[in-house]
Structures are given as C-alpha cells and as structure tokens.
Structure 1
C-alpha cells in the first residue's frame, strides 16, 4: 500500500504565526490590517503560502 502525503495548500493564522516566529495576537493584527493577505473560509481565515512570502519579501525590501 502506498501512502501519499499532501502539502498544505493554505495555512491557518496560527500556523502563519508559528512560521514567522510571531505571537498569535500580532499575526491576527497583521491579517486584520491587510498586511498579510488572507481569505475567509467559513468562520476561519486562511493564508496562501505565497501571501506569507509576499509579506516577508515586502518587509525585507523595506529594511534594505
């Protein structure tokens, strides 16, 4: 039997916080303010991996 592992297509806000090393409150603020793009899925917010990359790249460019 072969097992296939799927890659996450999107992340929860708490997963994004962990990825960035931020607290959940700060990450929720970044999402609510639109600094990190997200979409509403039912009652939850979801963030595409490329949106996390956009935020990181934008912050790096601002620091340069």
Structure 2
C-alpha cells in the first residue's frame, strides 16, 4: 500500500515568507507592513499576511506602474 501525502497550502504567511515570495528584503517587507501598504494582522507577537493580501499588493503595484507609463 502506497503512502499518500497531502499537500497543504498555507492559509497565511509570515513577513519573511512574503519577502522571499516577492524577492524583497525583510526590512522592505516590514516597512510595507508598518506603513500599511501591505495588509497584515497581529497573531500574538507575530504578523501574518493572507495570500490574497499579497495578491492585492501586487495588483496595486502593477496598476501604479501601468498608470505611470
């Protein structure tokens, strides 16, 4: 009998994970959170970011770049 492995997609990300996904440094990503440019929520002493909030940030940046061009 073969073992089956479930792939579990994370429901939210740490700031460090988002930094890695975006190719940003941790400091820049923390500033995005502090300034409110990237939505996040406080979970105890940690910050968490929902995947759709990362998508919203990316879409907003693309829109800004397209309007500037």
TM-score between both structures, scaled by the size of structure 1? 0.95
Match of 1:9 among 8, 11, 21: 11
SS of alignment partner, residue 5 of structure 1: coil
SS of alignment partner, residue 36 of structure 1: coil
Which has the higher Rg, Structure 1 or Structure 2? 2
Q: Give the structure 2 partner of residue 60 of structure 1.
A: 62
Alignment: residue pair count: 64
Give the root-mean-square deviation of aligned CA atoms.
0.8
CA deviation vs aligned residue, 1:25-58 (integer Å, no higher than 9, x gap)? 0000000111000000010000000000000000
Counterparts of 1:7 and 1:43 in 2: how far apart (Å)?
Answer: 23
Counterparts of 1:4 and 1:59 in 2: how far apart (Å)?
Answer: 34
TM-score between both structures, scaled by the size of structure 2? 0.88
